[in-house]
Amino acid sequence: GENVEQHPSTLSVQEGDSAVIKCTYSDSASNYFPWYKQELGKRPQLIIDIRSNVGEKKDQRIAVTLNKTAKHFSLHITETQPEDSAVYFCAASRGTGNQFYFGTGTSLTVIP
């Protein structure tokens, strides 16, 4: 089955700096890669996703890159703000009807 690894497990950055979280996957058939943000005590919220037919996707301050050859994808947050502090999870899936495999999470702290 699929194995998703996520690094780092914790990350602290100064407000305004960039944050990068990286994930690797093992199943070359995986073709959908979402990222979730989970604030304390709340449900994970989908913040951005990428499908295997593109290499990069951007939405305001967040972007995701995908390298299919190397089987890794990354989340980039620019101009970080205190409200970006949360746990971020990456995931991989083969698509509709298949399960999602989640990374172990990255706890991001943005220091004001």
Partner 1 sequence: SQTIHQWPATLVQPVGSPLSLECTVEGTSNPNLYWYRQAAGRGLQLLFYSVGIGQISSEVPQNLSASRPQDRQFILSSKKLLLSDSGFYLCAWTPSTREQYFGPGTRLTVT
The stretch among 13-21, 28-36, 55-63, 68-76 that binds partner 1 (CB under 8 A) is 28-36
**Complex with partner 1: residue 80 or 93, whichever CB lies closer:** 93
Residues 25, 92 contacting (CB under 8 angstroms): yes
Is 27 an interacting residue with respect to partner 1 (CB under 8 A)?
no
User: Binder to partner 1 among 29, 46, 54, 111 (CB under 8 A)?
Assistant: 46
Rule CB under 8 A: say whether 43 interacts with partner 1: yes
Q: From residue 63, give the alpha-carbon distance in Å to each of 3, 35, 42, 57, 104.
A: 23, 10, 23, 6, 20
Query: Residue 63 corresponds to which tokens in the numbers above?
Result: 């972007």
- Could you say whether residue 104 binds partner 1 (CB under 8 A)? yes
Q: Cβ distance 6 to 90 under 8 Å?
A: yes
Residues that bind partner 1 (CB under 8 A): 32, 34, 36, 42-46, 49, 89, 91, 93, 95-97, 99-105
